[in-house]
Amino acid sequence: MVMESRELNIRERQVLGIIIQVYVVTAAPVGSRYITQHYNLGFSDATIRNVMAELEDQGYISQPHTSAGRIPTDKGYRYYVDLIMTFQRLDEFEKKRIEENVGQISIERKGTSSDVLLSAVKVLGTISRQLSVVLSPTLSNALFEKLDLVLLSSTRMMVILSIQSLFVKTIVMEVDLDVSRQMANDVVDVLNQRLSGLTLAEIRRSIKRRLSDCACDSALKNLIVGSASTLFDETPIFERLYISGTEYIVDQPEFKQPDKVRDLITMIEDKFSVAKLVENNVPSRMDITISIGKENCGVYAEDLTIVSAPYYVGNMVGKVGILGPKRMDYEYAVRVLNYMADSLSSTFSGVN
């Protein structure tokens, strides 16, 4: 039975912190004797046992087997993350090691945002050794740059929207019109003259009014105006998700059992659910979000911790995230995510 929580004293905080740090490395329950032998706290073995018993009564640790040591609970991890752990940046040695092993995120002028984000999620998976995700930004507040029309056949047309900082949205439309190349060029010219520099949300609201007096082909223009809610809408969330590092998370001890592996793979294959897990988290300290165990929505995520951070592209916001066992190195995960988020923000801010 878990007692009503109270503030932990210094001794209890020390022992809880040690249990979590040791369990992160060993994946094995931690006993009082281990703490006495490996940490010079100045307490007797009996004192540490009493502290651990108190932490267990308060619900911060649990004993998986009668003769075993203790492991952290969701509550213990939460206390550690909120009140014990310190957030730091990667030091120069860690940055150098990352850059030497996997390289820096880079962008060529001819590249696209997808190239950058795919590179970023692969780098993040490699350096974190966890399941890693990158969400491209929501686009409603993004500035529209230009539109192109590509005639694929007599009944199909591709609409290519170029949005700030190399973000591109492509939609194939079925058309019941006889559209010539000149007709398409005329409509494109008017659209780009009157809509460039507006946000997608502004275009959805006002495109009909802004094009009401144009002299370009009315049938094609009306088709574009009538499809504005789709053309200038958000990209579906599952299409904004980039994911890497599945091989690392399935290799963790927590997911060795067949049923655990099956549940994990089922969750990963549902890209919509994974994207929502990362996007729905509300930042707390320093923009970093850490959601632990049952704090996550979805039964398959109850054995996971999700750590995420925002990156910025002008007035757009995307997210980078790490999904792993609750027994993860929280300090390192936060340092890596801050570094990757800053790298993405810097990369896109350098695009003209």
Give the domain-ending residue among 206, 231, 256: 231
pLDDT for the residue 150: 95
The pLDDT of residue 285 is 47
User: Structure pTM?
Assistant: 0.86
CB contact at 8 A, 48 and 12: no
Mean pLDDT, the chain, whole residue set: 87
**Are β-strands 304-313 and 316-325 bridged in parallel, bridged antiparallel, or unpaired?**
antiparallel
Which DSSP symbol is given to 319?
E
DSSP structure class, residue 70:
B
Q: Which residues of 108-145 are buried (b: 16+ CB within 10 A; e: fewer)?
A: eeeeebeebbebbbbbbbbbbbbbbbbbbbbbbebbbb
Q: Are residues 251 and 332 in the same domain?
A: yes
pLDDT greater than 60 at residue 2: no
Residue 60 lies in a domain: yes
- Residue 318 in any domain: the answer is yes
| pLDDT given for residue 115 in this prediction | 84
CATH number at residue 68: 1.10.10.10
pLDDT at position 351? 58
Predicted confidence at residue 281, as pLDDT, reads 63
Q: Are residues 115 and 152 in the same domain?
A: no
Q: Are residues 119 and 207 in the same domain?
A: no
CATH number of the domain residue 214 falls in: 3.30.390.60
Q: Would you place residue 4 in the very low, low, confident or very high pLDDT band (cuts 50, 70, 90)?
A: low
Regarding whether 149 and 197 lie in a shared domain, the answer is: yes
* pLDDT digits 0-9 by tens, 278-309: 987 654 445 889 999 999 987 789 999 999 99
* Cα distances (Å, whole numbers) of residue 186 to 183, 192, 211, 217, 219: 5, 10, 13, 8, 12
Q: Write out pLDDT tens, residues 302-338.
A: 999 999 999 988 888 899 999 999 999 999 999 999 8
Which H or E element spans position 163?
Answer: strand 156-163
Q: Could you report the per-residue pLDDT of 27-77, keeping only the tens digit for each?
A: 999 999 999 999 999 989 999 999 999 999 999 999 988 777 999 999 999
- Give 150-176 pLDDT, tens digit per residue: 999 888 999 999 988 778 889 999 888
| Domain housing 189 | 144-231
Let me know the angle formed at the C-alpha of 222 by 218 and 224, rounded to the nearest 5 degrees.
Answer: 125
Domain boundary among 46, 67, 84: 84
Long-range pairs for 28-34: beta carbons < 8 A, 24 or more residues apart:
28/69, 29/63, 29/64, 29/65, 29/68, 29/69, 29/70, 29/71, 30/69, 30/70, 30/71, 31/68, 31/69, 31/70, 32/69, 34/69
Give residue-wise pLDDT tens across range 101-137: 544 555 544 567 888 898 889 889 988 999 999 999 9
pLDDT above 70: residue 148: yes
pLDDT at position 1 is 42
Residue 74 lies in a domain: yes
pLDDT of residue 108: 46
How confident is the model over 255-274, as a mean pLDDT?
90
Note whether 244 and 309 are same-domain residues: yes
Mean pLDDT (whole number) for 204-220: 86
Instruction: Report whether pLDDT(242) > 50.
Output: yes
| pLDDT grade for 9, boundaries at 50, 70 and 90 | very high
